[in-house]
Amino acid sequence: MSGQNEILSKAEDVADKVTRNSKHVLPHLARFCLVSTFFEDGIRMWVQWSEQREYMDISWGCGWFLATTFVVINLIGQLGAVAMVLTRYKVDIACGVLFFIVVLQTIAYSILWDIQFLFRNLALIGALLLVLAESRVEGKSLFAGVPSLGENKPKMYLQLAGRVLLVFMFLTLLRFEMSAMQIVQNLVGSLLMVLVAIGYKTKLSALVLVTWLNILNFYFNAWWNIPAYKPMRDFLKYDFFQTLSVIGGLLMVVSLGPGGVSMDESKKKW
């Protein structure tokens, strides 16, 4: 038991060292990964303008004007909000726009009835909540230069909700097969999911999940290997960038820490 605790302690030390050495880069990398799916989708709206408009018109019978409006909102809303997040300009408004886009697409593409896509969109919302939490890092003080007293409760609850919603991404990766390797992957992945959700050994768990997700993403969603004329290329590209956004959310967890509503924070008070 003591040997296991020693290994775990060393792993946490490594995670802390990685976090400290990358503290100036990690938040930017996290935001970049997080908004990547919105950037890719905005570009797709531009490149596939006619196809997207025709799809909406045929699916909903809404007519040329409403179908065009849908594409324009997605194009301008996503690219504009991505620029705002990356430059940290009015991040709360940018997150609100991206949240609206996620809800709009969930309804427009009938994602509500597809559990896998719905769970991934919920994870995407969780990642956005973490970006919003990051923009609230410094609480306001009554006097300039004096740290604020008390806890930043909105930030704490945003971090909690973000962590819990990120779990939905991993639920879509579980495969119920009887092979020994798949069972091990499911068990390890589920354990790490729970640890991130409750905020226990958070930075270490999130870093391991980032590594695991990256491996799975580049292996299963290698859209660049599919010829451009095959529809599967677009599906894999969609999955790739959505997974990359959730990886950005996990990197944000590593950068910000678990927040006040977590087991890691509670342990400090014991």
CA 74 to CA 23: how far, in whole Å?
Answer: 33
Provide the residue type at 242 as one letter.
Q
Q: Output the average pLDDT for the chain.
A: 82
pLDDT digits (tens, 9 = 90+) for 175-213: 666 777 778 777 887 888 888 888 888 888 888 888 888
Does residue 143 have a pLDDT over 60? no
Report how far residue 157's alpha carbon sits from residue 178's, in angstroms, rounded to the nearest whole number: 38
Q: H or E element: which one contains 153?
A: helix 153-171
Whether the pLDDT of residue 142 is over 70: the answer is: no
Residues contacting 92, CB < 8 A, separation 6+: 132, 135
Q: How many CB atoms lie within 10 A of CB 17?
A: 10
- Say if residues 174 and 186 touch (Cβ distance below 8 Å): yes
pLDDT for position 113: 78
**Cβ contact 251:203 at 8 Å:** no
Across 10-14, 77-81, 154-158, which has the greatest mean pLDDT? 77-81
**Contact present, 196 and 167 (Cβ < 8 Å):** yes
